[in-house]
Structure 1
C-alpha cells in the first residue's frame, strides 16, 4: 500500500526533473564547501556557488510539491545551471551544470496525466446525420483541457 501511494505521488509531479535539480544543486553547492584553509584562500568567490546550489535545490523541491510551478522552476533551473558554468567552478566540474540543464528540461517538459477518455460503447453513440447542414449551428465547440486552467 505504501509503495502504491509512493508511485502515485511520484507520477503526479515532475519527480525526475526535481531530483536532477536537487542533485545538481547539491553538487554545485558542495564543491566550495572545502576545508577552512582552502575556503580562506578562495575568499568570497564561493558565496555565489553556495547560493546557486541552494536555489537549485529549492527549485527542485518546488517542482515536487507545487507541480503547477514546474514551468517557471524548469526555466530558472536551466538558467542558473548555465550561469553556474561561469560563476561556480565550471558548474561543479560540468556535472552540476549538466544535471541542472537535464533537470530543468524535464521539469519544463513534464505534463500531468489528463482525464482518461470514456470508453465508447456502440449503444452510447449518437446517430450520425448524413449531411453536414443538418448539424445544429448552436452546438458548443469542443473543450480543450488545460491543467493550468487557461481558457482560450
Structure 2
C-alpha cells in the first residue's frame, strides 16, 4: 500500500528533463491525487505499525484504489491501483500470529501453578 501511494503521487508531482525538453504532467486532479496518495501511505503505515487496524486499512485501500482510477491519472497509470488492490487484499487475508513474549509468559504462569 505504501508503494501504491508513492506510485499514485509520483506522476502528478514529478518533472524531469529529456534532451533539453522539460516534461511535467500537470493535471486537474492534483488535490485528489495528493489526498488519495497520502491516504494510501497512511493505510500502509497503519498495517505496518498497528496490525489491529489491518481490516480497516485494507478495506480503505481497496476503496481508494477504485476511486483513484478516474480521479488520479488512471490510478497511477493502473500500477498504483493494482498495487493498492493487492495490498488491501493481503492485509485482509493476513492474520498476525501469537507473539513470542505472550507464549513465554503463559508458559511461566503455567509452570508456577
Report 1:32-111 matches (<5 A). Answer: 32-35=12-15, 38=24, 42=27, 44-111=28-95
Q: Which has the higher helix share?
A: 2
Asked which structure has the greater CA Rg, the reply is 1
Cα pair 1:29 1:51 within 8 Å, conserved = no
* Structural RMSD (CA): 2.3
1:28 matched to 2:12: no
Instruction: Give the secondary structure class of the aligned counterpart of 1:111.
Output: coil
Alignment length (residue pairs): 95
- Structure 1, unmatched stretches of 5+, are 1-20, 116-152
What is the deviation of 1:86? 1.2
Inter-partner Cα distance in structure 1 for 2:23 and 2:34: 17
Cα pair 1:30 1:50 within 8 Å, conserved = no
Q: Which has the higher strand share?
A: 2
What is the deviation of 1:37? 8.1
Q: TM-score, normalised by structure 2?
A: 0.75
Instruction: Give the secondary structure class of the aligned counterpart of 2:13.
Output: coil
What is the deviation of 1:114? 4.1
Cα pair 2:29 2:73 within 8 Å, conserved = no
Cα pair 1:24 1:99 within 8 Å, conserved = yes
Instruction: Give the secondary structure class of the aligned counterpart of 1:31.
Output: helix
- Structure 2, unmatched stretches of 5+, are 16-21, 100-113
